[in-house]
């Protein structure tokens, strides 16, 4: 599934997003440590009383000088910036990434060259004979000219990150020279190892004697600094005897536009990453929270043609390069995944708006660097992580996306192989292999590439998209050929597990769909007439209301824990029906795994892995169905839109979900036990595996938040609600149906009672209601949950006593144990 700062909408992380949530995985937001967290600069960066010398005494004839954003000079082992007065106080976005790392680093999203560690905005400010770096904050604002501007300015002082003595004036006195050697070679967290890395390897001190500034390159709008930093460390990923760990960092300093791009206000009905702030400059009679979407700044070259409705190229297209370290055979597929978004930008009136390219060779462009912040990249990591992610870096003033470094882990292919196998092998001969053809794997890579590119365009996951299609439509070749499996590639609508043998379906996964085109049109359309942000919002609101109620354009945010439409890895508008088809296909796949993955001379690791994937997929279906119990739909609306924002799932559909679980899970799924294959790798864990699938679902059904929603539903809707007592009765009827349970049933019954027992413990738990309703955590003891659980436990105790009296030795022991467990729960003091 998104790595974006100050997110109001959840990202992606990444695709795996699991291809795991990611994962083509979801990506954690960037953490920007406050300037106050920076370690004090080493001696040499502090102000000195040396006086300002002539330029020629500082920048001697031995200097190696380059011209760019700042002129840079290297004199022996010293590095100098020549900062023109015209650049002082300009805002610059500073991004620090890992450039090179030792092998074996295991800090999530901070372990491969190219991964981002930190970003800040810097302003170089002159005061007397010193230069300061200030780090401004954008959490509060008021535009110039508003009554609150001065007040906000006085309450939002920028912290000082570092200070430098002015060493000299430049030759025409239009700038100053400072020594930045000790600053970049110092222990400044903003441009070095993060707190997570320091804690993971128990660093005790920064070792300047084993650190250095490698290169400083200056370009027209950016400066790239590569440093090697060594930290004394009690633990090392490679060799503890060294007593230290060394990283190379790349710090990019990019000049932000003098005139910021026009911002676009967020709308909860259309999915975009964004950034929020408290705006004191509005006319609202309160401190109003506003938020801007993240988007690239696309402006048509020919505005007259654009206004006539013609497709027009942007002044500056989005160009994304492929890392030269990428295996050559996958490059065309990664580029195709980028270019697939052309059709979405056409909906916004642009052609050739996004372009994928191979990175130039050193012969073609000796100055090109994959770490240069002017260039957006797909970075290819030699990693066993099965993931990919699509971050972006944006202007904190407006949300304008400036560049992206997409993370692509080599082992994402194993995830694609496993998921494509367990979800499509029943109908797709191309998936019945231990190793796919290059063309098949390439198309899967293209699919993931398109998804991750969507994140870099500002689009978060849309987990509600796949709900738009009726389940049976996914069995239609004509329908899927035209519409694929979901209206958005930003959903986790992986592969078509619904289609059955004989349906003739050949399109297995989504592409750029109707929702994606709509979202790009909404976020990137250019409006003539120099409209204000609020005027643009009013126009967009008309568009949004016109799409309301059409499931093709529904946005279901990631992180929603109560709307059954907003789920990862699901397909279609009815989880019970879709999962029934999915299980039918798993029953076809499982007996054939050994045959379809046979490789002479290989052990049974493939068989073991894919057998586990089948069980995992089965468990995933159980989760999809469980979401319906106590489910609550969420449809954001504005005042002029009629109807409720929140509606409970119907009683009939909740009962349908419980019936499905009773039939498919709580009635032991013996089809999962294929002894001919299990005896090749299973060392006695199958009983435990099935218990885990059953008890994890029991725990999921009887969460505090779900039960509270059911109680709330009954309070609001009375007899039309599906109630907690009904849920107990319906589940108990299957779990305790057999008077002489086998080992599977005994495990399940104990798991059910253990879960009820956990609800009797005085531990506070979150309510789990929609945003705005979560005022405080709640103690279960003050709700109706505990009295209902107590009645259920007493009912079970009475039944267990009766069965123990008439059972065989194992049955008697089991039911006596259940009675003891229940008594211990109801009266723990005994």
pLDDT digits (tens, 9 = 90+) for 770-805: 554 544 556 788 899 999 999 999 999 999 999 998
Which one of 12-21, 384-393, 417-426, 737-746 scores highest in mean pLDDT? 417-426
pLDDT digits 0-9 by tens, 56-68: 999 999 999 999 9
Distance CA 514, CA 468 (A): 11
What's residue 133's pLDDT? 94
Centre a 10 Å sphere on the Cβ of residue 227 and count the other Cβ atoms it contains.
22
**Per-residue DSSP letter, 14:** B
Task: Tell me what the mean pLDDT of segment 291-317 comes to.
Answer: 96
Residue with tokens 């439409």: 565
pLDDT class of 494 with cuts at 50, 70, 90: confident
Least confident of 505-519, 620-634, 773-787, 799-813: 773-787
CA angle (404, 406, 407) in 5-degree steps: 145
Kindly report the pTM of this predicted structure.
0.86
Q: At what angle do helices 651-661 and 724-735 cross, to 10 degrees?
A: 20
Task: Tell me what the mean pLDDT of segment 436-461 comes to.
Answer: 96
Q: Tell me if 603 sits within 8 A of 597, measured CB to CB.
A: no
Q: Which two tokens stand for residue 450?
A: 């398109």
pLDDT class of 371 with cuts at 50, 70, 90: confident
Quick check: 100 pLDDT over 60?
yes
b/e burial code for range 711-730 (CB count within 10 A of at least 16 → b): bbbbeeeeeebbbbebbbeb
**Per-residue DSSP letter, 59:** S
What's residue 155's pLDDT? 52
Task: Tell me what the mean pLDDT of segment 385-391 comes to.
Answer: 82
Q: Which two tokens stand for residue 635?
A: 């449809």
Quick check: 278 pLDDT over 70?
no
What's residue 14's pLDDT? 38
Task: Tell me what the mean pLDDT of segment 448-467 comes to.
Answer: 96
C-alpha distance from residue 791 to each of 702, 737, 800 (Å): 15, 19, 14
What's residue 144's pLDDT? 59
pLDDT digits 0-9 by tens, 659-716: 999 999 999 999 999 989 999 998 887 888 899 999 999 999 999 999 999 999 999 9
Residue ranges of the domains in the chain?
A: 35-255, 702-830
Burial class (CB in 10 A: 0-12, 13-18, 19+), 625: buried
pLDDT class of 145 with cuts at 50, 70, 90: low
The dihedral of CA 604, 609, 612, 618: what is its sign? negative
Q: Give the distance from CA 523 to its chain's centroid.
A: 20
Q: Tell me if 344 sits within 8 A of 360, measured CB to CB.
A: no
Per DSSP, which regions of 142-295 are E strands?
159-169, 175-179, 203-218, 222-233, 244-255, 274-279, 288-293
Least confident of 21-30, 95-104, 485-494, 525-534: 21-30
Closest alpha carbon to 34 in 119, 140, 96: 119
């Amino acid at each position: 599934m998104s790595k974006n700062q100050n997110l109001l909408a959840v990202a992606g992380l990444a695709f795996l997003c699991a291809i795991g949530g990611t994962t083509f995985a979801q990506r954690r937001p960037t953490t920007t440590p406050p300037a106050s967290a920076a370690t004090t600069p080493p001696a040499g960066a502090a102000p000195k009383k040396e006086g300002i010398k002539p330029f020629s005494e500082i920048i001697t004839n031995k200097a190696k000088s380059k011209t760019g954003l700042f002129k840079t000079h290297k004199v022996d082992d010293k590095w100098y910036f020549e900062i023109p007065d015209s650049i002082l106080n300009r805002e610059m976005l500073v991004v620090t990434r890992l450039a090179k790392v030792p092998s074996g680093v295991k800090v999530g999203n901070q372990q491969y060259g190219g991964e981002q560690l930190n970003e800040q905005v810097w302003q170089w400010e002159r005061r007397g004979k010193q230069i300061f770096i200030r780090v401004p904050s954008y959490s509060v604002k008021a535009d110039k000219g508003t009554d609150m501007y001065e007040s906000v300015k006085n309450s939002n002082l920028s912290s000082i990150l570092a200070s430098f003595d002015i060493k000299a004036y430049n030759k025409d006195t239009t700038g100053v020279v400072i020594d930045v050697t000790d600053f970049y070679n110092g222990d400044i967290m903003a441009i070095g190892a993060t707190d997570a890395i320091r804690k993971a390897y128990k660093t005790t001190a920064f070792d300047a004697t084993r650190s250095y500034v490698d290169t400083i390159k200056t370009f027209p709008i950016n400066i790239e600094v590569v440093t090697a930093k060594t930290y004394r460390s009690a633990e090392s990923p490679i060799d503890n005897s060294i007593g230290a760990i060394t990283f190379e960092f790349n710090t990019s300093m990019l000049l932000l536009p003098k005139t910021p791009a026009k911002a676009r206000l967020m709308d909860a009905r259309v999915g975009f990453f964004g950034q929020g702030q408290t705006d004191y400059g509005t006319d609202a009679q309160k401190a109003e929270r506003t938020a801007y979407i993240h988007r690239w700044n696309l402006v048509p070259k020919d505005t007259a043609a654009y206004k006539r409705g013609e497709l027009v190229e942007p002044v500056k297209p989005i160009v994304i390069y492929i890392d030269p370290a990428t295996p050559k055979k996958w490059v065309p597929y990664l580029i195709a995944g980028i270019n697939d978004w052309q059709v979405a930008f056409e909906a916004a009136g642009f052609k050739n708006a996004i372009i994928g390219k191979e990175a130039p060779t050193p012969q073609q462009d000796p100055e090109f660097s994959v770490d240069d912040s002017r260039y957006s990249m797909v970075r290819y990591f030699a990693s066993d992580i099965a993931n990919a992610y699509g971050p972006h870096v944006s202007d904190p003033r407006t949300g304008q996306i400036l560049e992206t470094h997409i993370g692509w882990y080599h082992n994402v292919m194993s995830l694609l192989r496993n998921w494509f196998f367990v979800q499509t092998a029943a109908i797709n001969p191309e998936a019945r292999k231990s190793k796919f053809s290059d063309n098949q794997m390439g198309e899967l890579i293209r699919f993931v590439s398109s998804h991750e590119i969507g994140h870099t365009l500002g689009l978060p996951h849309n987990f509600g998209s796949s709900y738009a299609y009726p389940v049976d439509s996914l069995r239609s070749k004509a329908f899927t050929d035209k519409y694929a499996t979901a209206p958005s590639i930003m959903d986790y609508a992986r592969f078509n597990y619904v289609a059955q043998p004989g349906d003739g379906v050949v399109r297995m996964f989504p592409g750029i769909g109707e929702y994606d085109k709509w979202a790009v049109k909404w976020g990137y359309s250019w409006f003539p007439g120099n409209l204000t942000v609020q005027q643009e919002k009013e126009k967009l609101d008309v568009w949004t209301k016109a799409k309301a109620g059409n499931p093709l354009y529904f946005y279901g945010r990631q992180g929603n824990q109560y709307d059954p439409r907003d789920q990862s890895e699901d397909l279609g508008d009815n989880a019970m029906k879709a999962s029934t088809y999915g299980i039918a296909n798993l029953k076809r796949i499982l007996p054939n795994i050994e045959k379809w993955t046979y490789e002479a001379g290989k052990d049974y690791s493939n068989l073991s892995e894919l057998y586990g994937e089948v069980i995992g997929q089965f468990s995933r279906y159980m989760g999809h169905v469980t979401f319906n119990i106590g489910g609550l739909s969420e449809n954001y609306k504005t005042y002029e839109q009629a109807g409720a924002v929140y509606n409970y799932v119907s009683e009939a559909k909740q009962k349908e979900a419980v019936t499905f679980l009773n039939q498919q899970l709580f009635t032991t799924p013996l089809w999962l036990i294929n002894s001919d294959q299990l005896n090749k790798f299973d060392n006695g864990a199958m009983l435990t595996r099935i218990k885990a699938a059953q008890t994890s679902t029991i725990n999921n059904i009887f969460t505090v938040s779900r039960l509270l929603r059911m109680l709330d539903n009954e309070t609001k809707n009375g007899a039309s609600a599906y109630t907690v007592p009904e849920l107990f009765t319906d589940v108990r009827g299957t779990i305790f149906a057999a008077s002489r349970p086998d080992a599977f049933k005994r495990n399940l019954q104990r798991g059910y009672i253990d879960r009820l027992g956990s609800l009797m413990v005085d531990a506070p738990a979150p309510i789990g209601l929609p945003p705005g309703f979560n005022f405080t955590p709640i103690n279960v003891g003050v709700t109706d949950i505990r009295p209902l659980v107590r009645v259920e436990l007493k009912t079970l105790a009475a039944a267990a006593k009766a069965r123990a009296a008439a059972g065989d030795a194992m049955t008697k022991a089991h039911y006596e144990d259940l009675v003891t467990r229940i008594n211990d729960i109801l009266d723990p003091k005994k």
